[in-house]
Structure 1
Amino acid sequence: MTRLDSRARTRAELAETLAGKGVPDDVAERVLDRLQEIGLVDDADFAERWTARRHESKGLSRRALAEELRRKGVDSRVVQEAVSAVSDDDEVRAATRLAVARLRAGAGVDEQRLTRRVLGALGRKGYGSEVAWTALRRAREELGEGSDDTWT
């Protein structure tokens, strides 16, 4: 199985794989250029698909998605374009889904402790405080609990 069989890869990921196998840099560059030329390597397409999939499946924020793409060696301009497809509303909806799940999982836990847990979980997904609090309020409303005025 080759590196492109399981999922799409960035140019940087493939360059790292080739370097790890001892392929000379000039040969690796030619191979990568050819793969890019025939459309098997396309960092912009990779970033767009990665962003959509990870935002939907993992509920990651734009900030977290951008960090993942940077770690994969995607150019910062391409990263910015890809994550800009996630709107503010998309982020709040995803954060609210996560908050609802955390609130349900924490049934019976002290309200302030549960609030800290939910906000912490959203923070680890890359959401800032404003989005996290908005999502928490919306999640509580969705669950019929009202908003948490104790902390706001």
Structure 2
Amino acid sequence: MSRSVTRRTEWPGHESPARSAGQGLGDSPDSSRAEKELSPQDPAERARAICLRLLTGTPRTRKQLRDALHKRDIPDEVADEVLSRFEDVGLIDDGAFADAWVESRHHGRGLARRALARELRTKGVDSALIDEAVGQLDPDQEEATARELVARRLRSTRGLERDRRLRRLAGMLARKGYPEGMALRVVREALEQEGEDVEDLGDHY
């Protein structure tokens, strides 16, 4: 993931971008006062101030910002003009946002490409940018992360029947977006290494 590596520091400590992206979209006393000081006859100035405040310390997509402007009754044509200007000067970059999101959420939460793509769609990122960002996640790296997730959860399943262990561990991977075939194979191999007989477990999944 060559492009995203340089942007990992955008979310220090791999803080959940989902939580960060949700912060600042609501009103606070300071932000409300600042917005009221701007002339209501100058929606462009209000729009710029809102965007700059929301972008401080936290990357956001164009859609997130447009939704925030709409919530504050900024006319659509004014919002589009301001957002386009922000894109021109690099203050909004959905491609960089997608790269950083994939890097942070994969390493921080162990999410696979399918789950990452789903999350980026909810942020309004263009499909082509999503494909490019998740495509930089190397399949070998994705599988290695799946193995790490299983290894961390393996001990907590000891004492359960073997088919329940398989379902629980494979289900955990499926919820994080890993393909069923990969999930089954990784779990079966982990159980085999532990000495569990898993010859027929695939029939129970």
TM-score w.r.t. the length of structure 1 is 0.90
- Quick one: distance in 2 between partners of 1:141 and 1:91? 21
- Quick one: distance in 1 between partners of 2:92 and 2:143? 32
Counterpart of 2:144 in structure 1 is: 93
Answer with 1 or 2: which has the greater Rg. Answer: 2
CA RMSD of aligned residues (A): 1.7
Segments of 5+ residues of structure 1 without an aligned counterpart are none
- Quick one: distance in 2 between partners of 1:19 and 1:69? 20
Aligned pair 1:24/2:86, yes or no? no
What is the CA-CA distance between 1:138 and the residue it aligns to?
4.0
CA deviations 1:59-95 (Å, max 9, x no partner) are 1111111111111000000000000001211221111
135, 143, 149: which one aligns with 2:199: 149
State the number of aligned residues.
151
Could you tell me whether the CA contact under 8 Å between 1:93 and 1:135 is conserved in 2?
Answer: no
Counterpart of 1:46 in structure 2 is: 97
Three-state SS of the structure 2 residue aligned to 1:17 is helix
154, 157, 176: which one aligns with 1:125: 176
Tell me which moved more, 2-11 or 74-83: 2-11
- Quick one: distance in 1 between partners of 2:189 and 2:81? 52
Aligned pair 1:110/2:151, yes or no? no
Counterpart of 1:65 in structure 2 is: 116
TM-score w.r.t. the length of structure 2 is 0.68
Counterpart of 2:127 in structure 1 is: 76
Could you tell me whether the CA contact under 8 Å between 1:62 and 1:86 is conserved in 2?
Answer: yes
Could you tell me whether the CA contact under 8 Å between 2:192 and 2:198 is conserved in 1?
Answer: no
Counterpart of 2:3 in structure 1 is: none
Could you tell me whether the CA contact under 8 Å between 1:119 and 1:136 is conserved in 2?
Answer: yes
What is the CA-CA distance between 1:150 and the residue it aligns to?
2.9
What is the CA-CA distance between 1:140 and the residue it aligns to?
3.3
Letter in 1 for 2:155: R
Could you tell me whether the CA contact under 8 Å between 2:169 and 2:187 is conserved in 1?
Answer: yes
Letter in 2 for 1:145: G
What is the CA-CA distance between 1:58 and the residue it aligns to?
0.9
- Quick one: distance in 1 between partners of 2:137 and 2:64? 24
Could you tell me whether the CA contact under 8 Å between 1:137 and 1:147 is conserved in 2?
Answer: no
